Structure 1
Amino acid sequence: MDDKERLEEIEKDIFINRKSDMTKLLHGDALWLIQQANRVEKLEKENAVISIQLRTAEIKSIEYKQALEFYANRTEWIEGDIYLDAGEKARQSLRGDSHDSV
């Protein structure tokens, strides 16, 4: 029996067969439910960390895109801004401190 089926069985036992009498919940089922709750808590923490990592990667991607757009823009080349910049926007983007300067 998989986790979903086991949970459905427990729900059926509690809410249909036993008319919400929690005192008759089997010890093994109670332990399993506690394990599942702990598992959910652990996965939620992992998800929060991954969400932060994803947001950081998204910001970095935007910074790289802005730097590439600067160097790809023909106007920057014609007006000489790229020569004055001397690669500073790219270096800032790679360092991660280009939020306001790109």
Structure 2
Amino acid sequence: MDATIYHNPACGTSRNTLALIRAAGIEPTVVEYLQEPPTREQLVAMIADAGLTVREAIREKGTPYVDLGLDNPDLTDEQLLDAMVATPILINRPFVVTPLGTRLARPS
């Protein structure tokens, strides 16, 4: 099975998810998204395919979420996506994309 994980090796949940995928006998394509962020179009597709809202796909902990004013409930999805594309650490992780679907693997 083809699988892609948008991975941050510094994240325990991301490391655990990668280990689970490999334990299932699948060697996924590993995209270290902080060095190789998804395009805006890819990000929009992953969020939609996972059945999430844009706000649900934002990582708050350990990011400049509050410093950038992203906690403002009046921000639009477009503004939130702009921030995620400009600052990829704001993308929650790990996203896993397979032919069966896309999931934000939290918890792993």
Q: If the length of structure 2 is used for normalisation, what is the TM-score? A: 0.22
Decide which structure has greater strand share.
Answer: 2
Decide which structure has greater helix share.
Answer: 1
